[in-house]
Amino acid sequence: MAKHTVKAKARYQLRGDTAAALEAVNPTLKSKEPVLVLNETKTAVAFKIGDGVTPYAELPLHGFGDHFDERINANAEHLDGIEQQIGEVETALDGILAVQNALIGGSSV
């Protein structure tokens, strides 16, 4: 019997809101259901995972580590530096290619 493979695309969207909004509703999350705790700028700063019985307010809070926002900003600055270095390398490569083309074409640089 031939095997058939079915491919399905799926997209997951995690539930999330500010701690105050979540505590106001105080839902009981299903077992292993995650919920993101967002700050005022809607950036995820922590999460809770349900057990199917415990209300949200009583679940332990799990953080993404100290100074999450600062780490995000530091990573963004690091990426900016990498992008600048890539630009410098591209400029150098353009110069090398110009010299190479001049040599191949027989004209002087």
Q: What is the pLDDT of residues 18-69, one digit of tens each?
A: 989 999 999 999 999 999 999 888 888 889 999 999 999 999 988 776 565 6
Position 77 in a domain = yes
The total of structural domains in the chain comes to 2
| Structural contact between residues 69 and 39, judged by C-beta atoms closer than 8 angstroms | yes
* Number of helical H runs and strand E runs in the chain: 2, 4
Position 43 in a domain = yes
Q: Give the domain extent around 82.
A: 67-109
**Rounded Cα distance, 55 and 26, in Å:** 6
Looking at the fold, whether 71 and 59 belong to one and the same domain comes out as: no
Looking at the fold, whether 77 and 105 belong to one and the same domain comes out as: yes
Looking at the fold, whether 55 and 73 belong to one and the same domain comes out as: no
| Structural contact between residues 69 and 45, judged by C-beta atoms closer than 8 angstroms | yes
Query: Residue 10's pLDDT band (boundaries 50, 70, 90)?
Result: confident
Looking at the fold, whether 71 and 84 belong to one and the same domain comes out as: yes
**Rounded Cα distance, 100 and 15, in Å:** 56
Model-wide pTM > 0.75: no
Give the phi and the psi of residue 15 in degrees, each rounded to 5: -75, 145
Looking at the fold, whether 26 and 42 belong to one and the same domain comes out as: yes
Q: Does residue 109 surpass a pLDDT of 90?
A: no
